[in-house]
Every structure is written in structure tokens, then in C-alpha cells.
Amino acid sequence: MKSIPSFLSYLTTSLPLFFLFTCLLCFAKEVNAATTFNDADGANSEVDNAGNWDFGVPDNVGNAGTVPTGFNVTYDAALDLNGKDITFEGTSTLTGPNSQIDDATLTFKGSSSYTSTGAIAPARNDNGVTTTINILDSAVLSIASQFKVARAGIGIVNQSGGTVTAVTDFELGNLAKGGTATYTLSAGTISANGFSIENGSVLNFTVGSTGVLSILNGGLDFTSNFEDFINNGGITLGGAAALVSDFDINWDGTTKTTIGLVGGVPQPLGLVVNTTTGLVTLNNPNAAPIAIDYYEIRSSSGDLIPGFDADFQPDGDVDSTDLSTWQSAYGATADGDADNDGDSDGRDFLIWQREVGSSAVTSGWVSLEDQHFDGNGWEEGDTVSDTLLFETHLTGSSNITSSAPVGLGKLFTPGGSEILSFEYHVAGAGSNDFVTGDVSYVTSLSAVGAVPEPNSFVLLATCSLAYAAVALSRRRADVLQYEGLDCKSQSQLQHP
């Protein structure tokens, strides 16, 4: 039996530690709460089958779900999607009958799809919470009946790409039932046979929206129907009241009326050039992705850094793998050709010797080919130089999205002339229809001098100081580079 002092000691030492450990476990469980669809059950692919998720059926109170590309999810009852927070990625699909979606968030990304054999009714019931549907990229919603947003609840739909097709009506809000909907359209298309906006609901075109609404064989048989919606505030521009003249409204005389923004063309892609470090980033300022199959960057003052002739892989640096490529190609193929004379010989080896150890972290263009961006379709031009960098997608195109700016390495000479030009070709456009992109210039913190061969401790300290400087200046950087050191992941530091 424990003595009183021993028992008190237990209460004041071991017991608090036990509770602390238990709380930490609970906290860790809460922080890591998320579940991924794996279709492990095998008997069915239903969304409500816990055996198909690695951490149970998803919900909207801390256990959000993700359906990875390639998986097909089904449901068989109208209420199966209630209370869920699920993101569908890549080529994943969701299929089922009529659905009343309340207190939920569903996000469709990539080329994912949602096919309903009946109606889809987000925020159908008045439960005091908001239901949100996000349609991004090239996602598809195919609805065999109505797309009825907010019959009695609060419904939000954000469409920045893809297509929505309703065989019957597209309805926003309901005056009799009290539902209010906000549908924000920045890109993509909506097609339906009828259209109504009620109870203060809005179809909001974002500024610069490329989205289009098409009503086929429905109650709107003339442009004046759309004009009434605009005049009454049901169709807005940038969240504010709009004029009929802001929109391009067309009626084909028999079956279809369409509405889009006047001048609703996407803003051009842009390059952001850091004149201190030489880093260049390709950005998309639009909500919708832009598919390109060619781009070029020019500098009349010769301030471009094209990369490395001996990067035979290519992967943005010159190392032993490039030497292996040269060895295999020597006297046989041009795979190790660094001087562009059509063969692999001793002169190419000498170039490799000069460049070995170089990487785009310190200097040089990191092309989309180097990055194997979106597969292996991109190929650098044969005549890149300090005045011209260009590359082409040989088999298709790649989407440039606002959520994922593309780094192109340190291709600009620090302190060089700020006179770069940038052009690109949008997939599907005419062969001679090139778009002139924006070029902007920024500066960043830099140190004087170079630090040769830093060990892990010095590198860690340098990176920490750099992060501190950025924090103090309240600047945000996705990838921080300081003194030519990549401080993106300190966990990767190794002793020399």
C-alpha cells in the first residue's frame, strides 16, 4: 500500500505527465485528422462505407476527405453527401442519383467529375449553415435534371473552370422557401434549359471573367430576359451592380441565349524577375488555368543565363549522371553533345569538366524540360542564348495555374537591364497568334560576398537569419534563397 508521501509524489509527478501525454496524443490525432479514399472494401465504392477510407468516412468537423485521381466514388441515397467535406482530384469521379447536399463542402479539381442521374440541390434545406460547391480547372458536373442551388438554405458555388450542364433548369435561390444563393463565375461554362434567380440571389461574374452562361430551349427566349436580371441586380460584376452594356448577350433567334462579359478575356501570364537574385517565376493572375504550348523570353542586352551545355539529363545541374550519359554516348550518339556539333567526343568532356558542380540554384535557366514539367513533352530550343530562351511542348500543352507559380531558375543576370520581353502561345490558338505577357521586376535582400563550402551549422544559421529578416519585413516567400543557398527545407541539410 502506498504511503501518504509516496502517493502525493505520484500525484504531483507521474500523474500530470500521464495527462500531458494523453492530451498530446489527443492533440496529434486532431491535427492529423484527414481521410483518403482507397476503395479498400472491394464490395462497393460508396462514399458512406467506412471501409473505403483510411481514417473513416469524411465529415466537415475536422475529418476532411480526399479522393485521389483514378478512384470512382458512388452514393445511392439523396442524403449521403450531407455533412461532408470532400475534395475530388485528378480523374476521380462521383456518381449517384438525386442529391440534397446540406452542411457540406464539395470541391472538384483537375478533370474530376460529378454525374447525377437526377437533380443536384445544394443547400436544399434551411439548417442555418452554408453549403459550398467549388468547380475548378477542367472539372465536369453533368446533371440529368435540375441544378437547384439554395432552395431553403444558404448556397455558394464557385466556378473558376470546367463545365456544368443541367438537362432542365438552373435555379439560384427560392423566394417562397427563403433560400439564397451566390454563384461566382470566373471561368468555364454553364448550360441549362431554363434559368431563374430569386430572393436576392446573384450570379456574379468576376472582373475579367471568361465564363459563359448558355440557356437552351428555355424560358429565356430573348436578350431582354437577361437584361431584367441585370437591371434587378441578379447578375453582378465583381460583386457589384452592373450595366447591361457590361455584358455580351446573344440570342440565336430560335434556341439559345448566351451571356458573358464584354472583353471577358483572361489577363496575360506574367514573369516576375528578381533583379537581386536573378530568379524568375512564371505566374497566372487569373482564377482559370491557361494552357500553353510555347513560350520565349528575350533580352536585347544579353542578360539571360541559358543554363549548362553539359546538362545532358537534363535536370538543371551538371553532375556524375551527366558524365555517365557522355560515356555511354561517346563516339556513338549525340546524347553527350555539349558543343552542338552533332557528336559526343573529347571536347564535350572538357565542357563537362568546366561545368561540373554547377546548378541552377547558383545560376541558370531551369526550363520546363529540365523540370519534366507535366510529363516529358517540353523541349528546349536548339539555339538558346543570352538573348533568347524558348521551348515548345511537342505533344500537347501544360496548364499554368494561379495556385502553382512556376519557377524558371536564376535565368536573369543580377543587376541587368530591365528590358526583358515575354511571349507565349495558347493551346488551340492560331499558329501565329502569340500573346505578349507581362514582365515585372522586384528586388530582395542580398548579402555581400560569398560563403565557400558552408557546413550544416553555418547553412542552418544563415537560413535562419534569412527567414528572420523576411519575417521582420513582413514579406512572404514560398522559396527563400539567400546567398545562393536554398533554404526551402532545412531538414534536408547534410554535413559535407
DSSP 382: T
pLDDT of residue 121: 97
Cα four-point dihedral sign 475, 479, 485, 489: positive
Q: How confident is the model at residue 384 (pLDDT cuts 50, 70, 90)?
A: confident
Do 25 and 39 lie in a common domain?
no
CA distance 103 to 58: 13
E strand spans, 14-153: 35-36, 65-67, 72-74, 85-88, 93-96, 99-101, 105-108, 113-116, 120-122, 130-135, 140-143, 147-149
Neighbours of 160 (CB within 10 A): 24
Query: Would you say residue 483 has pLDDT above 50?
Result: no
Question: How distant is the alpha carbon of residue 268 from its chain centre?
Answer: 17
CA distance 209 to 215: 18
Do 495 and 353 lie in a common domain?
no
Which one has a higher pLDDT value, 251 or 99? 99
Three cell numbers, residue 261 = 462579359
Do 297 and 228 lie in a common domain?
no
The CB-based long-range contact list for 314-320 (8 Å cut-off, 24+ gap) reads: 314/367, 314/369, 314/370, 314/380, 315/370, 316/359, 316/360, 316/364, 316/366, 316/370, 316/371, 316/409, 317/358, 317/359, 317/360, 317/361, 318/352, 318/355, 318/356, 318/357, 318/358, 318/359, 319/356, 319/357
Do 96 and 152 lie in a common domain?
yes
| Stretch (H or E) spanning 297 | strand 290-298
Helix %, strand %, coil % of the chain (to 5): 15, 35, 50
Q: What mean pLDDT is predicted for residues 82-92? A: 96
Share of the chain above pLDDT 90, in %: 43
Answer for the pair 242, 259: CB distance below 8 angstroms, yes or no.
no
Bridging pattern class, strands 65-67 and 35-36: parallel
Query: Would you say residue 102 has pLDDT above 50?
Result: yes
Q: How confident is the model at residue 277 (pLDDT cuts 50, 70, 90)?
A: confident
Do 134 and 196 lie in a common domain?
yes
Which residue, 426, 445, 464, sits at the end of a domain?
445
Only one residue has cell 434567380, namely 197
CA distance 387 to 412: 11
Three cell numbers, residue 299 = 533580352
Which residue, 445, 462, 478, sits at the end of a domain?
445
Q: How confident is the model at residue 299 (pLDDT cuts 50, 70, 90)?
A: very high
Neighbours of 316 (CB within 10 A): 20
Closest by alpha carbon to 100, among 84, 128, 81, 86? 81
Single-letter residue type at 401: T
Neighbours of 129 (CB within 10 A): 14
Task: Encode 167-197: b = buried (16+ Cβ within 10 Å), e = exposed.
Answer: bbbbbbbbeeeebbbbbbbbbbbbbbbbbbb
Three cell numbers, residue 96 = 449517384
Share of the chain above pLDDT 70, in %: 76
Summarised one tens digit per residue, pLDDT across range 317-369 is 778 887 888 899 899 888 878 676 788 898 888 878 877 776 544 567 888 98
Which one has a higher pLDDT value, 314 or 7? 314
Which residue, 243, 261, 279, sits at the end of a domain?
261
Do 49 and 25 lie in a common domain?
no
Q: State the virtual CA torsion across 413, 414, 415, 420 in degrees, nearest 10.
A: 50
Summarised one tens digit per residue, pLDDT across range 218-227 is 555 456 677 8
Cα four-point dihedral sign 157, 161, 167, 170: positive
Do 308 and 361 lie in a common domain?
yes
Alpha helix positions (H), 218-276? 223-231
CA distance 495 to 393: 39
Beta bridge partners of 149: 172
pLDDT of residue 31: 45
pLDDT of residue 9: 53
Do 186 and 283 lie in a common domain?
no
| Three-state SS at 375 | coil
Among 14-28, 276-290, 294-308, the range scoring the smallest mean pLDDT is: 14-28
Do 324 and 175 lie in a common domain?
no
CA distance 55 to 37: 9
Query: Would you say residue 262 has pLDDT above 80?
Result: no
Summarised one tens digit per residue, pLDDT across range 25-67 is 444 444 446 999 999 987 899 999 999 999 999 999 999 999 9
Rounded to the nearest 10 degrees, the angle between the axes of helix 4-12 and helix 14-31 is 20
Domain with 13, as residue range(s), is 1-32
Which one has a higher pLDDT value, 13 or 51? 51
Q: Look at the chain and report how many structural domains it folds into.
A: 4
Do 302 and 334 lie in a common domain?
yes
Do 375 and 482 lie in a common domain?
no
Do 488 and 430 lie in a common domain?
no
pLDDT of residue 340: 66
